[in-house]
Structure 1
Amino acid sequence: MGGRFAIGVVAAAYAAILFIGAFEDRREAVADIIGVGDMALVGLMAAAFWLACAVRPIPAAQAHAAINEIIHKVGKYVAAGALIFMVSCILLQVFMRYALNDAPNWTEEAARFGMLWMTGLMAPIAYRHGGFVAIDMLERALSERLSTVLTLVLFAMSFAVLLVMWDKGLNNHVDSLTGRGCSSTLRWPFGFEIGKCGPRFSNYYQYSALWVGINLLIIVCVELILRQGLKLFGRDAGLAPLGDQDIASVS
């Protein structure tokens, strides 16, 4: 299976899972045909795909790595823009409050908007390149093989948590009464009216940031699990090593 073909298959698989799984009406329509629950359908689709990745781990790992590289290259610049936007809103609020004693009421929510998207886009990059705080005394004390096994187990635990967060994030936040609500302060510029909220921002644009981050974290976690599995059996020679250079370039 060639590199570009593998990338196309992996990207198409994730697109199909999200195309069906992220929308309640589509989930239920397909689930009724098969005769399973709607979230069980999403689980079956994802499990079948990830099982196929385990059968062909090398091209699957390479495809995940290529997809993550593309997404993260774009994501880190969008996240940097979100950070600049957040800081600008906070500075505007502070200046207006102390200089004119009247800060705009939308700056706080706008800053939170930037913070959520910065977090959602940067967390997968940090996770992939080891940017999170970690206690690795036990890992360093073990032999290389046992250390690999321990890391693989930790990735599997993280993966299980991310799957729960995918479900809860979609059904309890994004696709919920709160997520479908309208912003109390943020308005579209120039009087534009979009969707059911009219001139106001939909909360969906904020809450979807963290759910997007969960999806990106899952793709990263699958790559890391595949890498560790290949490393355990000494078959990771063809994979490009992961460093922290992307983290440093953003900070």
Structure 2
Amino acid sequence: MGGRLATITVSIAYVALLLIGAFEDRREALADLIGMNDMTFIAALAGLLWLTCLVLPKSGAKAHSDINDVLHPIGKWVSVTALILMVCFILLQVVMRYVFNDAPNWTEEGARFGMLWLVGLMAPIAYRHGGFVAIDMLERALSERLAAILSLLLFAMSFAVLLVMWDKGLNNHVDSLSGRGCSSTLRWPLGFEIGKCGNKFSNYYQYLALWVGVNLLVLVCVELILRQVLKLTGRNAGLPALGDEDVGGAS
């Protein structure tokens, strides 16, 4: 029961962080109450959550593992759908252009839309299961303990980069003039009109893909850091092993 409670608590904490952090008005309203900069306020809340996970690494690692185990299969099937649509759009454009000399103008942007969501949702899965290309000559040359310390250092560096990407991705892309703009070619089907863009797609839906991917990468990176801490302290027994037969390993 303790493990399930930890998973629920960590899930609620992340949802609360996103519901506050992703909206400028909410961030600023709460930050002003305690006299802090809005992004500093979000960093403080996130830091408190991650510090708690470090104090209780086994519960934190298990909670993050459970969350990722739920989110990643969903992301995988959405990615498969996005890949299929992307290929169909590209084939449609080629056939219409070279056979009928009348290619629709929305296929290129539609394919890019699918590619962005494909990358955003598959990158966390590949990262968690070692699907990225890896240069591990130094790690193999070191002793097991030094290799584990090196891996922990690399995870920490990746985590720092992801935090910068979270901030820049939100404030410079999603919540920006570009993110608030409207698509030049993509339209809602059946004449639907949604938001200020009317029947046009908002660029928000495209820019959001990579920011969602960064959030999922943060979840994975925290899990990997906690797993590495437990491995270094010899307390990793009982954690579910990582492994996905559908994700190729790095070579």
TM-score range, shorter chain: over 0.9
Listed one character per residue, the Cα deviations across residues 160-192 of structure 1 (whole Å, up to 9, x for unaligned) are 000000000000000000000000000000100
- 2:28 paired residue number: 28
- 2:190 paired residue number: 190
CA contact (8 A) 1:64 1:219 kept: yes
Distance 1:62 1:105 in 2: 47
Distance 1:241 1:76 in 2: 19
Alignment of 1:140-159 (within 5 A): 140-159=140-159
- 2:47 paired residue number: 47
CA contact (8 A) 1:20 1:26 kept: yes
Give the drift of 1:26. Answer: 0.2
Instruction: State the secondary structure of the residue aligned to 1:186.
Output: strand
Query: Structure 1: which 4+ aligned runs deviate by more than 3 Å?
Result: none
Distance 1:14 1:178 in 2: 26
CA contact (8 A) 1:96 1:103 kept: yes
Give the drift of 1:246. Answer: 3.7
Instruction: State the secondary structure of the residue aligned to 1:135.
Output: coil
- For 2:94, the aligned partner's letter is V
- 1:66 paired residue number: 66
- 1:5 paired residue number: 5
- 1:103 paired residue number: 103
- For 2:7, the aligned partner's letter is I
Give the drift of 1:247. Answer: 1.2
When normalised by structure 2's length, the TM-score is 0.98
Distance 2:224 2:236 in 1: 11
When normalised by structure 1's length, the TM-score is 0.98
Distance 2:144 2:233 in 1: 12
Distance 2:158 2:186 in 1: 35
Q: How many residues are matched? A: 248
Give the drift of 1:102. Answer: 1.2
Instruction: State the secondary structure of the residue aligned to 1:201.
Output: strand
Unaligned runs of 5+ in 2: none
Q: Is 2:219 the counterpart of 1:219?
A: yes
Instruction: State the secondary structure of the residue aligned to 1:101.
Output: coil
Listed one character per residue, the Cα deviations across residues 210-249 of structure 1 (whole Å, up to 9, x for unaligned) are 000000000000000000000001110111111242415x
- 1:81 paired residue number: 81
Q: Is 2:206 the counterpart of 1:199?
A: no
Distance 2:213 2:176 in 1: 18
Instruction: State the secondary structure of the residue aligned to 1:247.
Output: coil
Q: Is 2:135 the counterpart of 1:135?
A: yes
Instruction: State the secondary structure of the residue aligned to 2:211.
Output: helix
Distance 1:191 1:232 in 2: 58
Distance 2:199 2:37 in 1: 37
Distance 1:113 1:73 in 2: 20
Distance 2:111 2:211 in 1: 18
CA contact (8 A) 1:131 1:244 kept: no
Give the drift of 1:130. Answer: 0.3
- For 2:98, the aligned partner's letter is Y
- 2:90 paired residue number: 90
C-alpha root-mean-square deviation of aligned residues, in Å?
0.8
Distance 1:33 1:79 in 2: 41
Alignment of 1:9-20 (within 5 A): 9-20=9-20
| Seq. identity, % | 72
- For 1:228, the aligned partner's letter is Q
Instruction: State the secondary structure of the residue aligned to 1:90.
Output: helix
Distance 2:10 2:190 in 1: 41
Distance 1:136 1:89 in 2: 38
Distance 2:46 2:113 in 1: 30
Instruction: State the secondary structure of the residue aligned to 1:183.
Output: strand
User: 235-244 vs 6-15, which deviates more?
Assistant: 235-244
- 1:120 paired residue number: 120
Distance 1:41 1:16 in 2: 13
Distance 2:33 2:82 in 1: 42
